Amino acid sequence: MKTLQYYQAVQSYMECVVCRNGVIDSGVDRCHTCHAPIELTKTIERRGVPGKLVSVLGASGAGKTVYLGMLLDMLGKGSNDLCGLPNGAFSMAVQEQTIAALEQRRFPEKTASEPDRWNWVHCEAFSQRRPRHRVDLITPDLAGEALALELEQANTYLTIRSLVSNSLGVMILFDSQRVRDAGRLEDIFGVKLLTYICSLHSLGAKERRKKVRLPVSIVLTKTDCCLDAAEDAQRFVANHLPGTMQFCKQRLANFSLHAASVVGSVMRACDEFGSETQIPLHVQPRGILEPLQWIMQQMEKR
Amino acid sequence: MSLFSLVKRCSKNASSVVANTTSDESSASRTQSLKRMQQSMALIPSGTTLLEPNSLAAEPVAQSEPVLVNSFYIDRFAVTNAEYEAFVTSGMYDDMELWPMEVWQHVLQFVDGTGRPGPRSWSVSKPPRDRLQHPVTGICWYEAMAYAKWLGKRLPDAAQWQRAASWHTGQNGQQAALRHPWGNSFDSAKANVWSSGAGSTVPVDKYHEGCTPNGVHQLIGNVWEWLDEAFVVPWNENHLLRGYAETRGGAFDTYFESQTRSQFRSGQPLLFRGANVGFRCCINLDELQVNSRLPHDCDAV
């Protein structure tokens, strides 16, 4: 016999927009599988148009939080022919934290590694010229350590796996200074991440040799401190991330290289234990919107 | 040629305009020279200004101390590419007297995109022809200092720059300084900042609405301006962060409105040659008065 509870459950049943697992809107605020906010799925359900996911990935310290926060703030202001509308108050947390911190001349706190503590972003981005073509920038402000662990041991973080699998566009952030100064490790990380992405987007065995059509933007961040990257991202990547570049050429049908920075001047200070703190003196965003713009164009072509 | 560039060419060395005026010359001639200079420079009357202490927001903000500023003249416009070209073509990058000894090894690296002496954004020691009246950028603090020295001027210090940019309201008996030269409310139509949407520098005489009451243009926006002031931040009880020169005013790409206030202080490394930092020059009134009598209140305010 079907109880009232059963009917209520059927009525509030939804498919999580990130992991595609069933969730029931029963007062919990996150999907029990991937920890994405239920509000996010409800918004897309109400809208009636499937979500087009774009995600932002990068190693720990690559600048994901600052990049995302600034991107959302710029989209909200409606600039450079690209606009964005945040969906839900949960979506404003990253923006709020980033802007508040930068105005007080500090960088936001490091993101926690537990997925249930990640702030999620859902912003509908669209061009003012073509308002009907919309993209859902849906991504958690994930911890780079978690991504690194997922690359080492797949399925450790289902959130990341689901997100990458269901994304129609990906931005990969690299700290340009670290790429320049820290030897080959960043390049190796880049190749590992691309291998992971391609494994989730590869076609069947017959078409394995075909290139993956997922648009991937390689974004060099913090280029205010690395003018070589700011002036010629292509050359910089070829020189400092040769493996990543080679992989992109061989395996991706659509990729682009971008240089981005948020801060205009940074002061560095060391405490007595040698730990360095960076102080952002003023903010002058560059190249923040372009990667998303490019991904939107590629998605539209597809 | 605009009146602006004509006057600047005539008064290439500002101090000599007046200093060369001997007692034999008529007072009419002196007045003429003075008038010429006043077309390119504005007098800032003496008075006090409240400098915000350089501190990190997380630290407790110390009280602002009033600083007395003597009368001085400041350029009405930031130094343009056209003006700076005269400095480059005169071979001043080879004149070691203009450069402090500690920077000699770097002067050879003060080159443009083609490896010739000049600002970073130029090529073959020439500015882009369509940007002659834009502020010169791609120059470090030492290049700005050398140019000012060549003209017999200097860069303003923090108190001077702020005195020029922030006027007092005098309302309610309070001598509260305005946040911007035009008032307390930010207006992207009055300065070239990020929200204005220009996306790059504009000619130095644009945004006329945003100039100070005595006609100093673009103190806010377009380019940050190098100052003759070290930007020192107290990091902890025993440690100061140094090695930066102060910059003021924000630029075409400055994002936060709070960072375009007249009182906002920022900095850049001395050798930074960015596309959004320029400068303007000033000269103290008492330096001009050495050889001549000048009225104290010629065109102030």
Q: Assess B239–A contact: CB distance below 8 Å, yes or no.
A: yes
* pLDDT at B241 (0 to 100): 67
Choose the closest CB to A104 out of B58, B264, B268. B58
Residue A235 near chain B (CB below 8 Å): no
ipTM over 0.90: no
Predicted local distance difference test score (pLDDT) of residue A26 = 63
Place of tokens 């416009």: B77
DSSP single-letter state for residue B50: E
pTM for the predicted model, two decimal places: 0.86
- Taking each helix axis from N to C terminus, what angle separates B27-40 and B3-10, rounded to the nearest 10 degrees? 130
Give percent helix, percent strand, percent coil of chain B, each to the nearest 5. 30, 20, 50
Q: pLDDT by residue for chain A (302 residues), tens digit each?
A: 556 666 565 566 777 878 877 776 666 677 877 888 888 888 887 877 777 889 899 998 899 999 999 999 999 988 667 888 888 788 888 999 999 999 989 999 888 888 888 888 888 888 887 777 788 888 888 888 999 999 999 888 888 998 899 899 999 999 999 999 988 899 999 999 999 999 998 766 566 667 888 999 999 999 988 888 998 999 999 999 999 999 999 999 999 999 999 999 998 877 767 777 888 999 999 999 999 999 988 988 87
Contact state of B256 with A103 under an 8 Å Cβ cutoff? yes
- pLDDT attached to residue B4: 37
Alpha-carbon distances of B18 from A81, B21, B36, B121, B284, rounded to whole Å: 52, 5, 10, 34, 13
| Per-residue pLDDT, B21 | 46
Determine the Cα–Cα distance for residues A217 and A199; give it in Å rounded to an integer.
17
Structural tokens at position A172: 């990969």
Give how far B241 is from chain A: nearest CA, Å: 7
Rounded-to-integer distance, Cα B249 and Cα A168, Å: 42
Element (H, E) at B205: none
Burial of B43-60, coded b for 16+ CB within 10 Å and e otherwise, reads bbeeeebbbbebebeeee
Q: Angle formed by the axes of helices A158-166 and A144-152, to 10°?
A: 90
Q: In which element (H, E) is residue B35 found?
A: helix B27-40
Q: What is the pLDDT along chain B (301 residues), one digit of tens a residue?
A: 333 333 444 444 444 444 454 555 567 777 787 788 888 999 999 998 888 877 655 444 566 778 899 999 999 999 999 999 999 999 999 999 999 999 999 999 999 999 999 999 999 999 999 999 999 999 999 999 999 999 999 999 999 999 999 887 655 445 578 899 998 899 999 999 999 999 999 999 999 999 999 999 999 999 999 999 999 877 666 666 678 999 999 999 999 999 999 999 999 999 999 999 999 999 998 887 654 444 443 333 3
Residue whose structure tokens are 């964005």: A84
Q: What's the gap in Å between the CA of A130 and the closest CA on chain B?
A: 20
- List of chain B residues whose C-beta atoms are within 8 Å of the C-beta of residue A226: none
C-alpha angle with apex A212: A297 to A201, nearest 5 degrees?
Answer: 105
Q: Cα dihedral sign for B189, B159, B163, B160?
A: negative
Q: Are the beta carbons of A282 and B254 separated by less than 8 Å?
A: yes
Query: Mind spelling out the 3-state secondary structure of A158-201?
Result: HHHHHHHHHEEEEEEEEEHHHHHHCCCHHHHHHHHHHHHHHHHH
List the structure tokens of B23.
Answer: 């007692």
Rounded Cα distance between A257 and A249, Å, is 12
